[in-house]
A and B are shown apart, each in its own frame.
Chain A
Amino acid sequence: MTTATLRETAEKQFATELAALAKADDKPRPAKWKLSPWAVVTYLMGGKLKDGTAITPKYVGNQRLMEIAVATLATDRGLLLMGVPGTAKSWVSEHIAAAISGDSTLMVQGTAGTPEEAIRYGWNYAMLLAKGPTRDAVVAGPVMRGMSEGKLVRVEELTRIPSDVQDTLITILSEKTLPIPELNEEIRAVRGFNIIATANDRDKGVNELSSALKRRFNTVVLPVPETMDEEVEIVHRRVVQLGKSLEIPAAAPALEEIRRVVTIFRELRDGKTTDGKSKLKQPSGSLSAAETISVITSGMALASHFGDGTLKASDIASGMIGAIVKDPVQDRVVMQEYLEGVVKEREGWKDLYRACKEVL
């Protein structure tokens, strides 16, 4: 594996599971779907098939949410996955696309600079100059390809896209056509085409969706993990996967260390300690599971390259402080209060307290 890709697409990574599901699946499938809605939900939530193939869970959380998401796509309405960062929106959308269309690559990444062409189509200017506007000179974007091939198209970070460009999606979602006025033609979507958008409504620098666009989506809000154990499970699963693909030689971190970071992030996020006894000030950052994951992985990298290979409090302290203290004045006060009031008092957390104290 000398030229191994950094990250495989979901449909390749889980090809065996998808194939096994397709074989076991005897329920009706909507047009162009590779699996039935039931099988898609099983793929997402995990389970054991009749032939003994184990399906790993892709989403840890409420099964009903996944059912709503899949049922939405079966009704040809667009699906909007909302949530704060780190609630697995993109992850879920990728896996849904992989399971339903067998292809998760038709994707528009939303940024502040996403132009209309990225959503509709562009022109091959050399051809346009040579032959004038013809079908051959049209460069199809992911949406156009999805429409003509009947596949799912993902729009990541919809709320980062400027509002006027966002609204390009309205015609596509309601009329299921994409007009090309220059050619006096239009692309009509084939059955099986649909859009999964992800958005977050809390971050800085987002463009609120227009009501017209919102109306054309069914919204599923992915919550932050409900229980401590769920969150630890999510973090642990991802950290192990990342460690493998990044080839970090450090041993997989002890669950205990993950649990400490998750505890700290949860307490600060909820504004109270887990025992519910004391209230805490909340920092300005969102402290999502994604940030927990990056704190742990960077700690693992530190431990393996500069330490003795096992994750210690000193390895995670700097990453953790960096994630919590986003505002140098207010968040620092929050963190200091938290360190002195909670971390210091907690049994067995002395090492963490000292390590944090050094960095802060």
Chain B
Amino acid sequence: MSISLHILGIRHHGPGSARMVLRALQDLKPDAILIEGPPDAADLIEMASDKEMHPPVALLVYEPDSPQTASYFPFAEFSPEWQAIRFGLKSRADVRFIDLPRSMRPSGAKPKTADQQPPQRIDALEQLAHAAGYTDGEAWWSRLIEERRGEEEPMAVFDAIRDAMSSLREKFAAPEFQSSRDLEEVPREAHMRRSIRAAIKEGVNRIAVVCGAWHAPVLTQEFLDKTPAKEDDAALKGLEKRKTAATWIPWTHGRLAFDSGYGAGVTSPGWYEHLWVHHDRIAERWLTSVARLMREEDLEGSPANVIESVRLSESLAMLRGRAAPGLEEFTEATLSVLCAGNPLPLKVIERKLIVGEKLGTVPSKAPAVPLQRDLEATQKSLRLKVSADDLLLELDLRKENDLARSRLFHRLALLEIPWAESQADSTRNKGTFRETWKLQWKPELSICVIEAARFGNTIESAASARVAFEAANAKSLPPLTSMLDHAMLADLSQAVASLLQAIESVSAVSADIGNLMEAIPPLAGVLRYGNVRKTDAELVTPIVRSLLVRVCAGLVPACTSLDDDAASKMLDRINHIDASLGTLEEPEFSDMWFDRVLALGDSQTHGLVNGRCWRLLFDARKQDPATIGDRVALALSPGNDPEKSSAWLEGFLSGSGLVLIHDARLLALVDAWVCSLPPDVFERTCPIGRRTFGSFAAPERRQIGEKLKKSGAPTSGPSGARSHAHESDYDAARGELVLPILRQIFGDIQR
């Protein structure tokens, strides 16, 4: 029996390719399936048929000595390689990976995913696409191969692809198209040929090779005959071999997408999965799931509209001379019919359907990921016990080891691996160098570690990558600043840089002064305590300055027309900023701040805010007491609406009544004002007054009371006397005049 060698050139992650590969394999019934994949992971191939294995997953190949250099080889359900592996395992064929082992790749190359697509090739695809009248290479390939459902002989299609690729290769063989990437390909293709020769030598009869379409022309029988084995051996000679390890890790559809920086990615994993799963009624099913998603998001997505969008997509396909509508037509029909021209819902559709949010799982018996190993090594070196019991740990950050532990805990928190929980307790108050953590290891944390592994292979790099990822997606300030706090404590200088950049760009467009104001205190905290932590706080100063400039510019307009709730919120923000600027002791910041506080104190806004501004000026001695006294007198003068005056007073006095104890004039002013209130107004403003004075410490209240008593209260009549005077306001004799009439109406109740 003669040896038969079949080359199936595919597009990584193409559902049409996967379908054709499957049909071709069913026809060929090969004894061995050789796949373009890392031989380092040969032992792991069998695990692909495990019950717990659900794509998208990736093979991770790394060097145990330097886990940050690693390669990922992702597989989706619809990846041709994945289907080939599964088919091979089921039919008991010999499944092998034949790419150049990771262990033999030149080291020093930056960590990369399985991007076997040099940029020139994409250009080449573009050229073929342009020749066929398409605007973009991906769309052309998608249309021609991946969305194909014809029943033609799969091997014929593979041969056609190989022919196209071999003419492209000829064209791009010219030296001007050569790049370092191409040079990397020489040993890879040599290794693939060597593996094929080895399989033939072993006497395997039917061999199927599944590889990227680009490599197909150089793996054929003719090419093997043409190229002496010696030549390939020469290409592989001198490549040093290093130690590598491999494992399976869960992957996501989002990270299969081209946008995530994955070289061989596809633009629309979710759409490809749809094509893989469904065999008929593609349009109806796709647009129905779009409509269902829109209904979930509380948008209109009626079946009637689905019908119309199916019709529009079909008529568009006809107009463009295509046999059936594709993703482009569906998206346009969705925009035009289902979204009524509004492009916003398309964003959700893109994220949830076209890309998709699917997360894969791997068997629990898969080898530990490098992140796990790094964690274990770190735990060991920091002498941390991993146990399922609760363990309370007090850290003194002045000690080197404790500081490192604290960093580890903060990094794990950023990675959402909740092993250590921060405890805010009494010891915290004793100094900024103390921290208390509660440690408890739970089995599900291992899964968290595996999930976090897609961000990196060491705790530090993974935490940094995770923060950078979140920072790039953040839309508002508060989450960014709280993350910054964590990142600072975790000593992730890289992540801090990306966060600061995100904060800069978000705050530049943010019109919400409230958010900007809330961003300042945590940043100021970082600045203040940066020295204890030995983190580079100098990065933060310019950000605080720019935030403060923006806040100061917008503070007064932002405070116009505040209602009671908004005013008390604003009061908190102003207090917090003032307190945190106080701790910074930067004259430049406080000058800028008090300049605006003064302006705000005089502006037309809620009494609460006005009053507070004057108090801040008083406390900071930015105005002399006489002026402040005048202000209080002005605010409490009878021309004002008493409710505004009492709000003003609340703002001025809230927190501490010391000011009244030390300044007799102020006390007299307040006293006179309270006494001047008519009874009904007094009743209305009483709760605010109670709230204000109630917030003082008991000794303060006592002292104020005593002072008032001592002063003999010349201006204040005792309230009893007032109510008496109030009673005497009416004339009893005149009142009695109506009694006879009332008696007539109600009868003689008296008796």
Contacts and interface: CB of A to CB of B under 8 A. Distances in A.
12 contacts: A37-B318, A37-B319, A38-B321, A68-B332, A71-B319, A74-B315, A74-B318, A77-B337, A82-B341, A214-B340, A219-B339, A220-B336
A109 interface: no
Given A68-B332, A80-B341, A82-B341, A75 B319 contact: no
Interface in A41-67: 41, 64, 67
Given A68-B316, A68-B336, A75 B308 contact: yes
Contacts of A37: 315, 318-319
B315 A215 contact: no
B320 interface: yes
Nearest to A41: B319
B302 interface: yes
A71 B312 contact: yes
A211 B305 CA distance: 12
Interface centre among A75, A82, A215 (most CB of B within 10 A): A75
B305 A215 contact: yes
Given A67-B320, A68-B332, A211-B300, A219 B315 contact: no
Contacts of A80: 341
A77 B336 CA distance: 11
Nearest to B332: A68
Contact of A219 (B302, B318, B336): B336
B686 to A, nearest CB: 44
A191 to B, nearest CB: 15
A67 B342 CA distance: 18
A343 B216 CA distance: 60
Interface in A70-126: 70-72, 74-75, 77, 80, 82
B341 A71 contact: no
Contacts of A72: 312, 315, 336
A219 B319 contact: no
A67 B322 CA distance: 13
Contacts of B342: 221
Contacts of B315: 37, 71-72, 74-75
A211 B341 CA distance: 13
B304 interface: yes
Interface size class of B (residues with CB under 8 A): 20 to 34
B319 A77 contact: no
Given A77-B308, A221-B341, A38 B319 contact: yes
A74 B305 contact: no
A77 B311 contact: yes
Interface centre among B316, B332, B339 (most CB of A within 10 A): B316
Interface centre among B311, B318, B340, B341 (most CB of A within 10 A): B341
Q: Please list the 4 inter-chain residue pairs (A to B) with the smallest Cβ-Cβ separation, ordered nearest first.
A: A219-B341, A221-B341, A71-B315, A71-B316
B408 to A, nearest CB: 42
Given A75-B308, A77-B312, A218 B302 contact: no
A99 to B, nearest CB: 14
Interface centre among B302, B304, B337 (most CB of A within 10 A): B337
Contacts of A75: 308, 311-312, 315
Given A68-B336, A219-B336, A74 B308 contact: no
Nearest to B314: A75
A218 B308 contact: yes
Interface in A176-221: 211, 214-215, 217-221
A70 B320 CA distance: 11
B341 A220 contact: yes
A67 B336 contact: no
Interface string B288-309: 0000000000001010110010
A71 B337 CA distance: 12
Interface size class of A (residues with CB under 8 A): 20 to 34
Interface of A: 37-38, 41, 64, 67-68, 70-72, 74-75, 77, 80, 82, 211, 214-215, 217-221
Contact of B319 (A74, A215, A217): A74
A67 B335 CA distance: 14
B175 to A, nearest CB: 37
Interface of B: 300, 302, 304-305, 308, 311-312, 315-316, 318-321, 332-333, 336-337, 339-343
A220 B343 CA distance: 11
Contacts of A67: 316, 319-320
Contact of B336 (A74, A211, A218): A218
B556 to A, nearest CB: 17
Contacts of B305: 215
A199 to B, nearest CB: 10
A98 B441 CA distance: 75
B557 to A, nearest CB: 14
Contacts of B319: 37-38, 41, 67, 70-71, 74
Contacts of A221: 341-343
A38 to B, nearest CB: 6
A233 B182 CA distance: 43
B398 to A, nearest CB: 46
Nearest to B311: A75
A218 B300 contact: no
B316 A215 contact: no
Contacts of A211: 300
Interface centre among B305, B318, B321, B343 (most CB of A within 10 A): B318
Nearest to A221: B341
Given A77-B308, A218-B337, 15 more contacts: A67-B320, A70-B319, A71-B312, A71-B316, A72-B312, A72-B336, A74-B315, A75-B311, A77-B312, A77-B337, A211-B300, A217-B340, A218-B308, A218-B336, A221-B343
A70 B308 CA distance: 15
B320 A215 contact: no
Contacts of B332: 64, 68
B304 A215 contact: yes
A115 B336 CA distance: 29
Contacts of A64: 332
Interface centre among A71, A74, A220 (most CB of B within 10 A): A71
A71 B328 CA distance: 14
Contacts of A82: 341
Contacts of B304: 215
A215 B300 CA distance: 10
Contacts of B308: 75, 77, 218
A72 B312 CA distance: 6
Contacts of B318: 37, 71, 74
B312 A215 contact: no
Nearest to A219: B341
Nearest to A76: B311
Contacts of B320: 67
A74 B311 CA distance: 10
Interface centre among B315, B332, B333 (most CB of A within 10 A): B315
A201 to B, nearest CB: 9
A64 B316 CA distance: 9
A195 B633 CA distance: 71
A71 B311 CA distance: 9
A216 to B, nearest CB: 9
A93 B591 CA distance: 61
A82 B342 CA distance: 10
Contacts of B311: 75, 77
Nearest to A73: B315
Nearest to A80: B341
Contacts of B340: 214, 217, 219
B549 to A, nearest CB: 14
A161 to B, nearest CB: 18
Nearest to A199: B341
A70 to B, nearest CB: 6
A211 B338 CA distance: 12
Contacts of B333: 68
Contacts of A70: 319
A71 B322 CA distance: 13
B284 to A, nearest CB: 16
A194 to B, nearest CB: 13
A221 B332 CA distance: 11
B128 to A, nearest CB: 21
